[in-house]
Structures are given as structure tokens and as C-alpha cells.
């Protein structure tokens, strides 16, 4: 039987309820392994430990915001190939569409999202 390795997704968002629900919903599908992180300052460490295929990153977070986290990851030689999608309430679906859009080299997905949108986005962007 073919066993396809699960895609590893790191979700960084300061809303614990959101990261928890995204984790259970995605893991129920069977093809994803999710790690969540609610503190932007710990995101780099989490990425180093987990080595995800894609990172969903909130933009507006207390302490270290999404922009700073993305810059840190992009500078790190072990992590700079990992695609980052900003999953954020700071953009609207009208601006980025339902499946997300790349603006100025950055991929965005607008909250609120349903799981079909999230999965489609992973398929489009994951390494």
C-alpha cells in the first residue's frame, strides 16, 4: 500500500482557538501534520524543529508580528525555501480572492476561511 508522507504545516497565529480548530480540521483529512504556535517570537524555533512544507502566518500579532517573522525565516539558510502564506484578517477576500493571491511576492489568504480554501491554498503553495 502506498503511504504518502503527510504534509507538514506550521500555523503561527496568536488566536489559540483558531490554531486549535485549524489543526483538528486539517488533521481529520488525514493528509496533514500540523504544528501550531501562538507566539510570533517562538515561530523561528518552531520552524527549525518542525521543518514544515508550508507556514501559515498571521500578520497582526502582539510582540513579533508576521512581517518580522517572515523576514527572519527568509534570512535563515535552513528555512528560506519554505513557502509562507499570510493567513490574516488584515486583507479582504475581495483583495486576495477566495484561494488567496500573491501580492508583492507574498501569498495571502483572507480570514475567515473554510477548509476547502485552506487545502486548495496548501496544494497551490506547499513545497
Q: State the residues that interact with another protein by CB under 8 A.
A: 15, 17-18, 21-22, 24-25, 28, 60, 89-90, 92-94, 110-115
Task: For cell 508576521, name the residue.
Answer: 66
Task: For cell 473554510, name the residue.
Answer: 114
Residue nearer to another protein on the CB measure, 17 or 80: 17
Question: Could you tell me the end-to-end alpha-carbon distance of the chain, in angstroms, rounded to an integer?
Answer: 24
Q: How far is the CB of 18 from another protein (least distance, A)?
A: 5
Residue nearer to another protein on the CB measure, 4 or 28: 28
Residue nearer to another protein on the CB measure, 22 or 44: 22
Q: Where are the beta strands (DSSP E) in the chain?
A: 7-12, 32-37, 54-57, 84-88, 101-103, 106-110
Q: Could you tell me if 56 and 87 are in contact, meaning their C-beta atoms sit under 8 angstroms apart?
A: yes
Q: How far is the CB of 78 from another protein (least distance, A)?
A: 30
Q: How far is the CB of 13 from another protein (least distance, A)?
A: 9
Amino acid at each position: 500500500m502506498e503511504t504518502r508522507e503527510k504534509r507538514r504545516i506550521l500555523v503561527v497565529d496568536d488566536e489559540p482557538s483558531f490554531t486549535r480548530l485549524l489543526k483538528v480540521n486539517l488533521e481529520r483529512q488525514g493528509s496533514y501534520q500540523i504544528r501550531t504556535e501562538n507566539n510570533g517570537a517562538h515561530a523561528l524555533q518552531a520552524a527549525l524543529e518542525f521543518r514544515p512544507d508550508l507556514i501559515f502566518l498571521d500578520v497582526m500579532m502582539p510582540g513579533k508580528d508576521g512581517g518580522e517573522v517572515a523576514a527572519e525565516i527568509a534570512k535563515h539558510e535552513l528555512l528560506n525555501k519554505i513557502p509562507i502564506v499570510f493567513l490574516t484578517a488584515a486583507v479582504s477576500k475581495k483583495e486576495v480572492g477566495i484561494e488567496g493571491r500573491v501580492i508583492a511576492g507574498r501569498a495571502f489568504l483572507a480570514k475567515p476561511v473554510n477548509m476547502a480554501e485552506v487545502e486548495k491554498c496548501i496544494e497551490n503553495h506547499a513545497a
